[in-house]
Amino acid sequence: MKTQQKLVVSEHMNSYPKFFNQLRLLVIVTAMLLTGCLDDNLSVVSEINEEFSGIKKIEVDGGFLEVEYIGESGMQDVSMDAVLRSNSDKRYEIIYNVDGETLKIEVKTSKGISGNLKGEGTILLKGPRNILLDLESGSGSLSVQNVVSTETNMTVASGSIFAKNISATNIFLSSSSGLVKAEDLTGKLNAVVSSGKMEFSGIDGNIDADGSSGELKFNGINGVVNATISSGKIEMNNVRFLGKTHLTSGQLFATNSGLGAETSLKVSSGSIYIQTLSNLSNFNFNITTGSGIARVGSQQASGSLIINNGASNTIRGEVSSGKIEIEN
């Protein structure tokens, strides 16, 4: 009986290599079917060269593509030059249609195909300067130049935004994690960043900027800047008026920037330093501190700093753990 048991065990052991080889072959074949034998070589799967007339608004969902709009003086029609390259001709597609006076463009992703999928490309739009834009992107980039409008919207997930020479009643820029850069803008600007970096220069108008974690930079702003960030850094230079500036954990560093009726400063854990061109005697100051320090000009205190200059406007501040410094 013992000899027969050893023989049976030995036969099973001899069958293991064959079984594992079959299993390995099955896994390889399955993987090849799932990926469709995709390689890294990209080829053109969609190419569009079109012109559209009577367009007043453009809506784009660009996905991973680079999307750019350039306004040109005297141009009436909208031209689109788009190219999409991929290692699969079945997964991605650029679709577009005209709905009334709105041109709608979208990168469509088909389901049921997986594997080592890759894609890249651009959507270049040129048209009149006077146009409404509502542009979105996932991991791609958005760029807009030379536009006059009542509203311009640009939103990305992990991509980047570049806006230049835009004049609009309302401008909205939003990024989850990426770079937002704007210059030479006129109008009310609303900017939101979750974790990323924003740079603004040459802005004629008020700015509301909110961030969770990241870095905000303002240079040459002719208006009121309201900036709130949970953790990060805010840099300002040549800002006409500081508005509401609140930091949970971080730093504000402002130079050559003015104080005004809307200036309100708050830091939970961090520091605020302001070098202002404003005359400090034109304002009252009411700053409360926990374990922090407040300094205005030559006056300094811990606990509270109250300065009554008999002015019509009072600069209010609050620091829990950190410091607020304001000087000329």
Asked whether the predicted pLDDT for residue 37 surpasses 90, the reply is no
Q: Is the domain of 278 the same as that of 321?
A: yes
Strands (E), the chain: 43-52, 57-61, 66-71, 78-86, 92-99, 102-109, 119-127, 132-137, 141-156, 160-175, 179-204, 207-257, 264-276, 284-289, 293-296, 299-301, 304-307, 314-327
Residue 26: other Cβ atoms inside 10 A: 10
- For residues 167 and 262, state if they share a domain: no
Is 105 found in the same domain as 17?
no
Do residues 89 and 169 share a domain? yes
Higher pLDDT pick, 43 / 87: 43
**Residues 218 and 316 both lie in one domain:** yes
**Least confident interval from 110-124, 188-202, 238-252:** 110-124
In this structure, are 218 and 109 located in the same domain? no
User: Coil, strand, or helix at residue 32?
Assistant: helix
Residue 112 burial by Cβ neighbours in a 10 Å radius (0-12, 13-18, 19+):
exposed
pLDDT at residue 34, rounded to an integer: 46
Pair of tokens at residue 234: 């805010």
243 domain-assigned = yes
- Domain for residue 196, yes or no? no
Domain-located, residue 199: no
Question: What is the SS3 assignment for 31?
Answer: helix
Q: Are residues 55 and 158 in the same domain?
A: yes
The verdict on 5 and 111 lying in the same domain is no
* Cα–Cα–Cα angle for 166, 98, 161, rounded to 5 degrees: 30
Report the number of distinct structural domains present in the chain: 3
Tell me: pLDDT of 3 over 60.
Answer: no
Condensed to tens digits (0 to 9), the pLDDT of residues 168-196 reads 999 999 999 989 999 999 999 999 999 98
Q: Residue 22: which domain range?
A: 1-35
Q: Tell me if 195 is assigned to some domain.
A: no
